[in-house]
């Protein structure tokens, strides 16, 4: 391709060179033309021709001028030349006068004179014979009107003629022939050429010898160049006897008939010739270049051939060429043993001869396929060998329609790796499906590409929903931003991201998870995706929450506890004094007391005790409600506790004349429980019994049944109405039994009893008949769960 371009460029250059040169140097020269055959005239075709034009044309061609002929009369032409409307005026006679006005070429181009012609048979022989005659001449012509012209001569010689000015020499001849004039002044050239056409006689009278030259505008811009050029060219023309000058003389001024040889070669011929030469040059160059190209190509091919040979011979595969019919055309192998295991000696033999039937047929099959499809076919073969499997890859490449190039490569290693990979993949799949941790994969943009079943279980979202950006929807809305922000950060730093966040299941339940994502990085250290796990920590979170709650509760409890302790202490302290001092006084340790003093002091002490009781009850119920009661369990004897409690209320009972009967069976009952609380319960019940009984007795009994202690307190008191039994154990409920509240009490006693009994693990109940009496009974476990009695 480069060659073609090169040659085309050459051609273009040549052509443009020619036209350029032509265009560049072509100069327009204006030349005046007037009618003066044969020297200068316009022929019937309109072509300017004649002696002068011939010379000028020759010069023009040589100088690459383009002549512009400017037509006019002699006078007009002279005027044009003066005004530089024309550059050159040919056929101008040199005179001293004129040389002032115009610039002339150096040499005389043509010598000329004028003759007198007379009509045929005219007696005129000398100039003196013109006296009294009619003489015609060319108006304005120098031979007529100019200095040394006929008129001038006649004047100088004293000849009197009648002069008739005519327009052309032809007119003069005609006038002579018509005998209108006697004589006519004709220039030699015209005369030579045309005298034979008219019946006129040439006289020997000649006048005005002239040196005819080219005239140029005196101060014209082109004049110096033109003058120099014309002078030089004229010199040359004159020196060469075969030049256009002499030819022009012969043709226009001589008597010989003008030759018909074309002496001017048109420009286009030159151009054609030049172009032809260039084309030939061009073709020569092409042929040389082409030859060199061919040599180079051939050398390249040889090199390529050598290289390919080297390649094939160094290739460790089996390479061979097979014909379509299965003939081995070429063979090379870098392996000791391979799929085909042929050799170079077997070239020319058919595969069917050389190989096991199956392999040969299969191979030929592939050959056909490759040629038909006109494309490389690739096949894999597995050959079992000694317990292992050898894998080969064969490529059948068609080489035209008749043969195939086969390349066989041992891909055992690759195959093994592939198999291992598949196995590994499978193993991974199995693992991810059973592992109790959620596993997910994402691409580098964080879009989920895989989640395992456990993930779906934990998040409450199916795999399809989770793919792409879907997984985010499973994340609790409050956690999404935080999670993504954290992930973003880790991505930038290519570190593992860890976060704990929540999944919200479709049913609204929450699962707390710890998620970890690790970036997967390729060999160029670019992140290609993420692999991560989520672990369900909902249980753990619950425990943490509980712990927090416990701590909160405990601190609240501590406050309550402190409060109650303070109240307990503060309230009891003043009572210490009241009870104590009244006691001392009543014991008469401070001095004797009269009846009234004793009575009144008793009342004070009584009130103080009552107040203490109230305080104790209030604090008790407060503690119970606040869960501040701590049960102190110990082994103790029930009987002793009962007796102690009875002894406590005995004075009160005796005062009301009530009998108190205690029945304890067996006599020794060991219980593992809170002694103090048991006493408290008993005292409470006994107190109530005494309070609500006016006459009769109070019975207290107990028994042991299996692992339970039963105790009951019966009285013969007022009893309890059925409808009142509901509210009996409620705090601050005192059954309204009349107009006034006869019975003192806090209203807390029974509710405290109930709570205490329950605290100890037992139950309390009441049986009663309104007006007859009541029996309060309760049970207690003999021992607690983790106790050895």
Partner 1 sequence: MKTKILVIEDNEQNIYLVSFILEKYGYQVVQARNGAEGIEKAQQEKPDMVLLDIQLPVMNGYEVAQELRKGKELKTTPIIAITSYAMPGDREHALEAGCSGYIEKPINPDTFINQITGYFDSQARGDSTL
Positions in the binding site for partner 1 (CB under 8 A): 561, 564-566, 568-569, 572-573, 575-577, 579-584, 587, 589-590, 612, 628-630, 632
CB of 598 to partner 1, least distance (A): 14
CB of 490 to partner 1, least distance (A): 52
Q: 40 burial class (0-12, 13-18, 19+ CB within 10 angstroms)?
A: buried
Helix spans in 626-655 (H): 638-655
Q: Hey, is 691 helix, strand or coil?
A: helix
CB of 660 to partner 1, least distance (A): 20
CB of 568 to partner 1, least distance (A): 4
Dihedral of CA atoms 714, 720, 721, 723 in degrees, nearest 10, equals: -100
CB of 759 to partner 1, least distance (A): 12
Toward partner 1, which CB reaches closer, 152 or 557? 557
Toward partner 1, which CB reaches closer, 612 or 766? 612
Q: How far is CA 325 from CA 329, 330, 350, 435, 630, in A?
A: 11, 14, 8, 59, 107
CB of 435 to partner 1, least distance (A): 50
Q: Hey, is 586 helix, strand or coil?
A: helix
CB of 577 to partner 1, least distance (A): 4
Toward partner 1, which CB reaches closer, 677 or 754? 677
Q: How far is CA 386 from CA 45, 186, 247, 390, 411, in A?
A: 111, 133, 112, 10, 17
CB of 605 to partner 1, least distance (A): 9
Task: Tell me which H or E stretch contains 403.
Answer: strand 403-410
Toward partner 1, which CB reaches closer, 523 or 573? 573
> Within the chain, how many helices (H) and strands (E) appear?
22, 28
Distance CA 148, CA 209 (A): 9
CB of 548 to partner 1, least distance (A): 24
Q: 168 burial class (0-12, 13-18, 19+ CB within 10 angstroms)?
A: middle
CB of 565 to partner 1, least distance (A): 4
Specify whether the CB–CB gap between 672 and 633 falls below 8 A.
yes
Toward partner 1, which CB reaches closer, 627 or 666? 627
CB of 679 to partner 1, least distance (A): 12
CB of 640 to partner 1, least distance (A): 13
Toward partner 1, which CB reaches closer, 576 or 787? 576
Toward partner 1, which CB reaches closer, 488 or 577? 577
Report the 10 Å Cβ neighbour count for 690: 21
Say how far residue 239 (Cα) sits from the centre of its chain.
Answer: 85
CB of 557 to partner 1, least distance (A): 11
Specify whether the CB–CB gap between 710 and 779 falls below 8 A.
yes
Specify whether the CB–CB gap between 712 and 774 falls below 8 A.
no
- Specify which residues 31 forms β-bridges with: 69, 88
Toward partner 1, which CB reaches closer, 605 or 751? 605
Distance CA 263, CA 248 (A): 10
Toward partner 1, which CB reaches closer, 167 or 625? 625
Task: Tell me which H or E stretch contains 634.
Answer: strand 634-637
Distance CA 493, CA 574 (A): 72
Distance CA 122, CA 182 (A): 8
DSSP conformational letter for 66: E
Give the start-end residues of each E strand in 435-496.
438-443, 448-451
Give the start-end residues of each E strand in 102-239.
102-104, 110-119, 134-138, 162-166, 183-187, 200-217
Q: Residue 666: is the preceding peptide bond cis (ω within 30°)?
A: yes
Distance CA 331, CA 23 (A): 70
CB of 756 to partner 1, least distance (A): 14
∠ CA 654-655-656, nearest 5°, is 90
Distance CA 217, CA 78 (A): 10
Toward partner 1, which CB reaches closer, 79 or 571? 571
DSSP conformational letter for 108: -
The token duo for 495 is: 């570190």
Distance CA 682, CA 756 (A): 11
CB of 671 to partner 1, least distance (A): 19
Toward partner 1, which CB reaches closer, 411 or 612? 612
Dihedral of CA atoms 142, 45, 260, 258 in degrees, nearest 10, equals: -30
Toward partner 1, which CB reaches closer, 336 or 630? 630
Toward partner 1, which CB reaches closer, 72 or 761? 761
Distance CA 742, CA 745 (A): 10
Toward partner 1, which CB reaches closer, 341 or 566? 566
Toward partner 1, which CB reaches closer, 108 or 561? 561
CB of 587 to partner 1, least distance (A): 7
Toward partner 1, which CB reaches closer, 563 or 770? 563
Toward partner 1, which CB reaches closer, 413 or 630? 630
CB of 485 to partner 1, least distance (A): 50
> For the stretch 359-377, what's the b/e string if a residue is b when 16 or more beta carbons lie within 10 angstroms of its beta carbon?
ebeebbebbbebbeeeeeb
CB of 574 to partner 1, least distance (A): 8
Distance CA 373, CA 369 (A): 6
Toward partner 1, which CB reaches closer, 435 or 556? 556
Residue length of the chain = 789
């Amino acid at each position: 391709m480069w060659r073609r371009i090169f040659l085309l460029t050459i051609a273009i250059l040549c052509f443009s060179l020619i036209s350029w040169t032509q265009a560049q140097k072509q100069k327009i020269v204006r030349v005046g033309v007037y009618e003066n055959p044969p020297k200068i005239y316009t022929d019937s075709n309109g072509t300017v021709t004649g002696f002068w034009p011939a010379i000028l044309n020759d010069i023009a061609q040589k100088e690459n001028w383009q002549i512009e002929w400017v037509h006019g009369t002699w006078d007009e032409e002279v005027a044009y030349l003066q005004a530089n409307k024309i550059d050159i005026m040919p056929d101008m006679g040199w005179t001293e006068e004129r040389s002032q006005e115009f610039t002339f070429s150096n040499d005389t181009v043509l010598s000329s004179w004028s003759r007198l012609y007379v009509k045929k048979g005219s007696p005129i022989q000398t100039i003196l014979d013109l006296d009294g005659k009619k003489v015609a001449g060319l108006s304005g012509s120098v031979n007529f009107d100019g200095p040394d012209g006929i008129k001038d001569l006649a004047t100088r010689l004293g000849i009197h003629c009648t002069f008739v000015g005519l327009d052309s020499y032809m007119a003069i001849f005609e006038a002579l022939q018509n005998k209108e004039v006697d004589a006519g002044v004709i220039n030699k050239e015209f005369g030579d050429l045309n005298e034979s056409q008219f019946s006129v006689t040439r006289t020997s009278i000649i006048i005005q010898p002239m040196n005819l030259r080219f005239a140029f505008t005196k101060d014209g811009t082109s004049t110096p160049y033109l003058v120099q050029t014309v002078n030089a060219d004229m010199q040359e023309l004159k020196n060469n006897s075969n030049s256009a000058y002499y030819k022009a003389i012969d043709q226009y001024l001589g008597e010989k008939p003008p030759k018909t040889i074309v002496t001017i070669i048109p420009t286009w011929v030159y151009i054609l010739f030049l172009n032809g030469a260039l084309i030939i040059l061009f073709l020569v160059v092409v042929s040389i270049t082409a030859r060199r190209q061919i040599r180079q190509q051939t050398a390249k091919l040889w090199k390529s051939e050598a290289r390919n040979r080297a390649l094939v011979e160094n290739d460790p595969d089996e390479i061979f060429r097979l014909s379509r019919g299965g003939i081995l055309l070429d063979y090379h192998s870098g392996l000791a043993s391979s799929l085909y295991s042929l050799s170079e000696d077997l070239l020319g033999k058919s595969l069917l001869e050389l190989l096991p039937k199956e392999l040969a047929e299969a191979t030929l099959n592939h050959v056909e396929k490759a040629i038909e499809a006109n494309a490389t076919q690739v096949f894999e073969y597995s050959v079992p060998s000694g317990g292992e499997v050898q894998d080969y890859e064969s490529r059948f490449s068609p080489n035209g329609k008749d043969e195939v190039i086969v390349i066989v490569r041992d891909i055992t290693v690759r195959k093994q790796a592939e198999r291992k990979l598949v196995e590994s993949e499978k193993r991974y799949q199995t693992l991810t499906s059973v592992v109790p941790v959620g596993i997910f994969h994402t691409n580098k943009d964080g879009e989920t590409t895989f989640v395992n079943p456990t993930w779906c279980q934990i998040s409450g979202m199916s795999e399809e929903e989770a793919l792409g950006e879907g997984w985010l929807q499973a994340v609790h809305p409050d956690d999404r931003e935080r999670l993504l922000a954290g992930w973003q950060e880790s991505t930038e730093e290519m570190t593992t991201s860890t976060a704990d966040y929540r999944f919200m299941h479709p049913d609204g339940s929450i699962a707390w998870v710890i998620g970890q994502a690790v970036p997967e990085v390729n060999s160029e250290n670019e992140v290609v995706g993420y692999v991560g796990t989520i672990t369900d920590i909902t249980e753990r979170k619950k425990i943490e929450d509980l712990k927090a709650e416990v701590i909160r509760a405990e601190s609240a409890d501590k406050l309550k506890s402190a409060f109650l302790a303070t109240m307990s202490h503060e309230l009891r302290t003043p009572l210490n004094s009241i009870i104590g001092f009244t006691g001392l006084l009543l014991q008469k340790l401070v001095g004797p007391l009269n009846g009234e003093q004793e009575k009144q002091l008793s009342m004070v002490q009584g009130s103080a005790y009552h107040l203490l009781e109230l305080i104790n009850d209030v604090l008790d119920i407060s503690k119970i409600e606040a869960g501040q009661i701590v049960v102190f369990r110990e082994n103790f004897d029930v009987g002793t506790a009962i007796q102690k409690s009875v002894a406590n209320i005995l004075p009160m009972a005796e005062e009301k004349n009530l009998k108190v009967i205690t029945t304890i069976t067996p006599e020794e009952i060991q219980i593992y429980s809170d002694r103090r609380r048991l006493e408290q319960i008993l005292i409470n019940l006994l107190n109530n019994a005494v309070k609500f009984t006016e006459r009769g007795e109070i019975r207290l009994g107990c028994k042991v049944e299996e692992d339970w202690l039963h105790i009951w307190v019966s009285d013969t008191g007022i009893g309890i109405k059925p409808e009142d039994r509901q509210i009996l154990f409620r705090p601050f409920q005192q059954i309204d039994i009349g107009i006034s509240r006869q019975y003192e009490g806090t209203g807390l006693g029974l509710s405290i009893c109930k709570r205490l009994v329950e605290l100890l693990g037992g139950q309390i109940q009441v049986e009663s008949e309104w007006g007859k009496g009541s029996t309060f009974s309760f049970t207690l476990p003999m021992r607690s769960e983790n106790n050895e009695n």
